[in-house]
């Protein structure tokens, strides 16, 4: 296996960054994840645009043009023989002697790219069964719209989900509303058949898949209400589901061990998953 670090491909086991890297020391870094299906990046534009925005918000200079990144990604996929899986890209502010403020002299951003195979058939099976989620307090900062590697609260939330026998944790803010999942956006369907998801403000990541669901819902003639919802409303909803680049649309069939509707994936979530994959 191979990884790309700062201009070169290395054996994955030997690829390394400096101990004074600000990504390592301060989580002063952003990342992106693309799904790869049949050798193609899904939602390439959306993820490249969000990468630019994340870098801009943290004032990290863009280390490569999009065209250069696309070439590197194609070569990475070729070397690793990945046709179905994901690409991970991380850019940190670079290396400097440890000091919280930005280094006085400009650093060269550190860029790392890896990829791995994913078994989309297993993901399909998971979507057909539906998944369980639990809720945990949202303990993150107020700039969750920037895709930084500052993911410790997300890590703890996902671990809590796994220990509870669930697949994902939905994060609940101080007002008692669901913000999003630890690595997914959260949705419900009301009894009247409307899709509900939280507005894309600074408390959630503006999911690229979330944005695509807005397009798919138009094709299916579904209405979306962007507003916060509570775990209680979700438990009582007709359907629930989550979205992300690697899970597409995945139906949720229980929340905190409470079964949603008849405990089977909802028809709208299933139709949206199909519409998303058909359009990709
Ligand atoms: N929220 C969080 C916290 C995430 O980490 C992710 C996955 N990157 C998402 C939502 C879903 O975003 P996307 O559809 O762009 O993968």
Give the ipTM of the model, two decimals please: 0.99
Domains of the chain by residue range: 2-118, 123-279
- Is-above-0.80 flag for pTM? yes
**Could you give the CA distance from residue 85 to residue 122 in angstroms, rounded to a whole number?**
12
**The 29-37 sheet, strands edge to edge:** 8-11, 2-5, 110-117, 85-92, 29-37, 40-41
pLDDT digits (tens), the chain, 280 positions? 999 999 999 999 999 999 999 999 999 999 999 999 999 999 999 999 999 999 999 999 999 999 999 999 999 999 999 999 999 999 999 999 999 999 999 899 999 999 999 999 999 999 999 999 999 999 999 999 999 999 999 999 999 999 999 999 999 999 999 999 999 999 999 999 999 999 999 999 999 999 999 999 999 999 999 999 999 999 999 999 999 999 999 999 999 999 999 999 999 999 999 999 999 8
- Ligand 1 mean position, distance from CA 77 (Å): 22
- Ligand 1 mean position, distance from CA 7 (Å): 27
CATH number of 123-279: 3.20.10.10
Ligand 1 within 6 A of CB of 244 = yes
Closest ligand 1 atom to Cα of 47: 15
**Could you give the CA distance from residue 188 to residue 93 in angstroms, rounded to a whole number?**
38
C-alpha atoms less than 13 angstroms from C-alpha of 203 in its C-beta half-sphere:
17
What pLDDT does residue 58 have?
98
What length is written for the chain?
280
Ligand 1 within 6 A of CB of 51 = no
Ligand 1 within 6 A of CB of 150 = no
- Ligand 1 mean position, distance from CA 185 (Å): 6
* Active site residue ranges: 147
Closest ligand 1 atom to Cα of 154: 3
Ligand 1 within 6 A of CB of 247 = no
Ligand 1 within 6 A of CB of 243 = yes
- Ligand 1 mean position, distance from CA 48 (Å): 14
Instruction: Identify the residue whose C-alpha is closest to ligand 1 atom 9.
Output: 184
Ligand 1 within 6 A of CB of 268 = no
Domain range 2-118, CATH architecture: 2-Layer Sandwich (3.30)
| Ligand 1 site-directed mutation target among 183, 216, 243, 247, most atoms within 8 Å of CB | 183
């Amino acid at each position: 296996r191979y990884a790309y670090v700062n201009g070169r491909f290395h054996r994955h086991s030997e690829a390394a960054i400096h101990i004074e890297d600000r990504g390592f020391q301060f989580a002063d870094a952003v990342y992106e994840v693309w799904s790869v299906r049949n050798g193609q990046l899904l939602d390439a534009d959306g993820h490249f645009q969000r990468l630019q925005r994340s870098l801009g918000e943290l004032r990290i200079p863009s280390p490569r043009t999009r065209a250069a990144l696309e070439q590197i990604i194609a070569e990475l996929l070729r070397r690793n023989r990945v046709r179905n899986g994901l690409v991970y890209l991380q850019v940190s502010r670079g290396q400097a002697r440890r000091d919280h403020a930005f280094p006085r002299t400009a650093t060269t951003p550190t860029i790392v790219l890896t990829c791995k195979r994913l078994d989309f058939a297993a993901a399909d099976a998971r979507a057909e069964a539906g998944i369980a989620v639990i809720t945990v307090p949202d303990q993150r900062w107020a700039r969750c719209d920037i895709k930084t590697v500052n993911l410790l609260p997300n890590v703890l939330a996902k671990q809590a989900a796994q220990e509870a026998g669930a697949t994902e944790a939905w994060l609940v803010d101080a007002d008692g509303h669901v913000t999003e999942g630890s690595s997914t956006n959260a949705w419900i369907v009301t009894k009247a058949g409307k899709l509900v998801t939280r507005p894309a403000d600074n408390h959630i990541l503006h999911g690229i898949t979330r944005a695509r669901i807005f397009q798919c819902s138009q094709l299916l003639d579904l209405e979306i209400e962007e507003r916060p919802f509570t775990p209680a409303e979700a438990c009582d909803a007709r359907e629930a589901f989550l979205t992300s680049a690697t899970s597409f649309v995945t139906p949720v069939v229980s929340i905190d061990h409470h079964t949603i509707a008849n405990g089977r994936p909802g028809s709208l979530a299933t139709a949206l998953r199909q519409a998303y994959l058909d359009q990709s």
